[in-house]
Amino acid sequence: MKLKVYTDRMSQPSRAIIIFCKVNGIQFDEISIILSKRQQLSPEFKEINPLGKVPAIVDGRLKLFESHAILIYLASAFPSVLDHWYPNDLSKRAKIHSVMDWHHTNLRPGAAGYVMNTVLAPHLGLTLDPQAAAKAEKLLTQSLSTLETFWLKGNAKFLLGSNQPSIADLSLVCELMQLQVLEEKDRVRIFSPHKKVEEWIENTRKATMPQFDEVHKVLFNAKARFEKLREMRTVAKPGLQSKM
């Protein structure tokens, strides 16, 4: 039975899983679970993941969710995946776990919290929370500094001094890609002190092309849509805009 992958391509960990499968020649059926239609809460999907979150996979009798757990499982279970994605060497593997654990409590809440509270909330029927946005920006900025000065130290192209990408690079870069939907001034302010981070994102993109851009198409479309909406608001409220 072919691997089943349940995703919404608007979710960054979903995109990481799809890119990983495609780049590594893993055959799978992609089942779309549209979060904006609350399909993750349907009884059918709750059979797959009772906690109602994407991404999730079904491989034979195994039902699995949490994107890092999925990436580790796929890298271990599918022989077509090259060693650099999740090395057999215990020390290298340990460092990959370390940066992925760090991600959970630093980069992820920083990036996702900032995007939610500056752009996404109104599109999901929620209210923007400037206080939460400020808190998330602080965590995001700290996390980008830690990436720049610690996890990306030296001249290596990828995390942990490696010259080939691992599942950690893919997960963290997909997290940061969501910042594409920010207003340009915000995106520039946040990224400009972190040149190494920008290079690393580009290195990871290049190492996973053309799949990387293909899977991110939905994000680039959203970015264009949000920009158009912002322009329309600016035209509709010229007085307000001129005071800003």
Q: Which residues contact its own copies by CB under 8 A? A: 50-51, 61-62, 64-70, 72-73, 76-77, 90-91, 93-95, 97-98, 100-102, 104-105, 108-109, 146, 150
State in angstroms the smallest separation of the CB of 104 from its own copies: 4
Cβ closer to its own copies: 9 or 68? 68
Under 8 Å between Cβ of 151 and 143:
no
State in angstroms the smallest separation of the CB of 105 from its own copies: 6
Cβ closer to its own copies: 130 or 210? 130
State in angstroms the smallest separation of the CB of 214 from its own copies: 27
State in angstroms the smallest separation of the CB of 188 from its own copies: 27
Cβ closer to its own copies: 146 or 164? 146
Under 8 Å between Cβ of 130 and 143:
no
State in angstroms the smallest separation of the CB of 73 from its own copies: 4
Locus of tokens 């998330």: 136
Cβ closer to its own copies: 100 or 170? 100
Q: Are strands 62-65 and 56-59 parallel, antiparallel or unpaired?
A: antiparallel
Cβ closer to its own copies: 89 or 184? 89
Q: How many CA atoms lie within 13 A of 154 on its CB side?
A: 9
Cβ closer to its own copies: 51 or 124? 51
Cβ closer to its own copies: 146 or 180? 146
State in angstroms the smallest separation of the CB of 133 from its own copies: 16
Q: Burial-class residue 154 by CB neighbours within 10 Å (0-12, 13-18, 19+).
A: exposed
Distance CA 133, CA 114 (A): 5
From residue 204, alpha-carbon distances to 40, 98, 159 in Å are 29, 19, 10
From residue 83, alpha-carbon distances to 20, 24, 72, 92 in Å are 13, 11, 12, 11
Q: Are strands 28-32 and 62-65 parallel, antiparallel or unpaired?
A: unpaired
Under 8 Å between Cβ of 180 and 223:
yes
State in angstroms the smallest separation of the CB of 222 from its own copies: 24
